[in-house]
Amino acid sequence: MEKNALKKLIDVASGKIPADKILKNCKVIDVCNARVLTGDIALCGGLIAGVGRYEGLCEIDAEGLFAAPGLIDSHIHVESSYVTPEELGKLVVPHGTTTIIADPHEITNVCGLKGLEYMIAASEQTALDIKWMLPSCVPATPFEHSGAVIDAEAMKEPLARREILGLGEFMDFPGVIGAAGGTLDKLLAAKEQGKLIDGHCPGLMGNALNAYAAAGIRTDHECSTVDEMLDRISRGMYVLLRQGSACRNLRELLKGVTPQNSRRCLLCTDDCQPKTLLGSGHIDNHLRICVEEGIDPFTAVRMASLNAAECYGLQDRGAIAPGLRADLVLFDNMKDFHVKRVFTAGREAALDGRYTLPVSRCDSSGTKGSFHVKDFSADKLRLPIHSNRAHVIQILPGGVLTGKETAEIKRDENGDFLYDPSADIVKIAVVERHQNTGNVAAALLKGYGLRQGAIALSVAHDSHNIITVGVKDEEMAFAVRELIQQGGGILLAKDGRVLESMPLPIAGLMSDRSGEWVDEKLTRIHEAAHGTLGVSRDVEPVMTLCFMSLPVIPEIKLTDMGLFDVTKFDFIPIEA
């Protein structure tokens, strides 16, 4: 801040000169004292000058609305919304979110550091303040092929940059616990720059969790039980309570939030589609859920603002106080948290649910053409099994965890898996799309409900190879070829024709269209998946499938290299 700007801020705060803008007659939510103050909020040059009685050059009557600090999503992958950073800002700012902590893990696994550069450039085009974490695991594990490899040496330059807040979720917890050399180098690269380290350690307990926390890892968003949450808090970690489109742990974890530990609790979405944002909201919906579950409204707002700001070292925000960034949201009450107006750095960015600023887009041409598939054919989808009993990936409701089960299956005269309409078991395959390896691995999926046709996606966490399911190899092969032809995305096929599709030309992960367009496309895709292809109504057909190749979430998953048992951290045969 320049000297003249500082002098003006002090003069406005003291009442010597008028503020640039005044929000009059507010009920100010004081997150530091858990109380409501009545008064005006004086703004000066994008900052809060003071709360009290002020005069301003521009005055907005807040009419007794509740003023809260701008909401913070403590962990999100922009790419999982299927829209660009510019478009995500348009979707979430009207819900009161003014800051997100984003890990561009998905696009970096596809495009390497040029994907990170694109995301940073695109984020400059939105009123949403996006703080970037450097992806820590590219690839996520050595058990799959991704589009890039970023080791500790490659991390040093981006970690030194102002735009990078810290090191993204450290999914390789076995590497941390085993003190693997390359893992230690990454952790030290972040520590040398004084950057914080995000965590990801589902199910980790006891001394293994001690080792993980001792490495300096500060957060975890993968808790699914209260016991896990309390264990992490007792070890000095922050716990991010998650409510997204795929994983919804918030209500369960709120049972463990107390006045004594609430300051270690934050709110996040992790992965959130436009359908969720347009239908339920964003962090404002988390606040509603918190109050429904008996959490004090002040505690809820604090988890969405001050706690997050303190955890991530954002000393310029998190409360409505003099000298802090003027990120403000006006609610009509502290129960429903209906958002009326939103200000980012003092500028009005949303009014009555509508983003009020122009949307311009960054050039994304450098992220396209990311499909390099070698010698693919239907024959590569064959699944010979030397037993009538096979391991199957069991879909579990409400999240991305899977079960490891065995099932009786049918085989044809060549010993290949034969789809049985009376059993809810279909073939699933992963096709490598980055390195021209020609890798294709197949396995069996139970509980998805598919009864005909095939589905193919180029969104498959974390390496984002092509993932496909179907009842016939020919249908699956057709879907994969058509998906490559359209430049990635989502595609549903039946009887050799495309039923529905949504191209995602940006790295095969994101659309260059509006959130409303993506939502309409996803709605039609869901309807076709359930109504025509028979996917179970209890299963989210797209995002559920996206996580079936994620080899860091228990219990078994499929990568382009084979069927992977996460609990053993090793590949297993299809035969049971």
- For position 9, which CATH number holds? 2.30.40.10
Beta bridge partners of 21: 43
User: Is the confidence at residue 476, as pLDDT, over 90?
Assistant: yes
What stretch of H or E contains 283? helix 283-292
User: Is the confidence at residue 212, as pLDDT, over 90?
Assistant: yes
Tell whether 79 and 139 lie within a shared domain: yes
User: Is the confidence at residue 317, as pLDDT, over 80?
Assistant: yes
Query: Which pLDDT belongs to residue 529?
Result: 98
User: Is the confidence at residue 84, as pLDDT, over 80?
Assistant: yes
Asked if the structure places residue 325 within a domain, the reply is no
Residue 369: pLDDT band (50, 70, 90) is confident
pLDDT (tens digit, 9 = 90+) per residue, 405-447?
999 999 999 999 999 999 999 999 999 999 999 999 999 999 9
Sheet holding 570-571, edge to edge: 556-559, 562-565, 570-571
Asked if the structure places residue 453 within a domain, the reply is yes
User: Is the confidence at residue 309, as pLDDT, over 90?
Assistant: yes
Tell whether 76 and 57 lie within a shared domain: no
Tell whether 302 and 391 lie within a shared domain: no
**Verdict on whether the full-model pTM lies above 0.85:** yes
Sheet holding 402-408, edge to edge: 402-408, 389-395, 440-446, 425-431, 466-470, 454-457, 489-494, 497-503
8 Å CB contact between 67 and 328: yes
Tell whether 269 and 414 lie within a shared domain: no
Asked if the structure places residue 358 within a domain, the reply is no
Asked if the structure places residue 359 within a domain, the reply is no
- The whole-number average pLDDT for the span 29-43 is 97
Tell whether 152 and 270 lie within a shared domain: yes
- The whole-number average pLDDT for the span 257-285 is 96
Instruction: Tell me how many domains the chain contains.
Output: 3
Residue 168 CA to residue 104 CA, distance in Å, equals 9
Residue 399: pLDDT band (50, 70, 90) is low
Question: Which of these three, 28, 44, 64, is where a domain ends?
Answer: 64
Residue 408 CA to residue 464 CA, distance in Å, equals 30
Query: Which pLDDT belongs to residue 417?
Result: 96
E-assigned strands of 70-121? 71-76, 97-102
- The whole-number average pLDDT for the span 215-220 is 98
Q: Which of 325, 357, 356, 324 is nearest to 340 (CA)?
A: 356
Question: Which of these three, 252, 287, 317, is where a domain ends?
Answer: 317
Residue 290 CA to residue 293 CA, distance in Å, equals 5
Query: Position 206: which residue type?
Result: G
Residue 142: pLDDT band (50, 70, 90) is confident
Tell whether 190 and 121 lie within a shared domain: yes
8 Å CB contact between 113 and 121: no
Domain hosting residue 254, numbered range: 70-317
8 Å CB contact between 511 and 503: yes
pLDDT (tens digit, 9 = 90+) per residue, 526-563?
999 999 999 999 998 998 999 999 988 889 999 999 99
Asked if the structure places residue 324 within a domain, the reply is no
Q: Which of 83, 75, 166, 110 is nearest to 362 (CA)?
A: 83
pLDDT (tens digit, 9 = 90+) per residue, 93-107?
999 999 999 999 999
Rounded mean pLDDT of the chain?
Answer: 96
pLDDT (tens digit, 9 = 90+) per residue, 288-308?
999 999 999 999 999 999 999
Asked if the structure places residue 328 within a domain, the reply is no
Residue 398: pLDDT band (50, 70, 90) is low
Tell whether 531 and 491 lie within a shared domain: yes
Collapse the DSSP code of 41 into the 3-class scheme (helix H, G, I; strand E, B; otherwise coil) and give the result.
strand
Tell whether 110 and 41 lie within a shared domain: no
Question: Which of these three, 64, 89, 109, is where a domain ends?
Answer: 64
- The whole-number average pLDDT for the span 461-489 is 96
Asked if the structure places residue 149 within a domain, the reply is yes
Residue 533 CA to residue 325 CA, distance in Å, equals 50
pLDDT (tens digit, 9 = 90+) per residue, 151-164?
999 999 999 999 99
Tell whether 142 and 14 lie within a shared domain: no
Tell whether 60 and 139 lie within a shared domain: no
8 Å CB contact between 572 and 564: yes
- The whole-number average pLDDT for the span 310-337 is 98
E-assigned strands of 243-295? 265-268
Residue 205: pLDDT band (50, 70, 90) is very high
Residue 308 CA to residue 211 CA, distance in Å, equals 24
Tell whether 136 and 228 lie within a shared domain: yes
Asked if the structure places residue 529 within a domain, the reply is yes
Tell whether 58 and 78 lie within a shared domain: no
- For position 219, which CATH number holds? 3.20.20.140
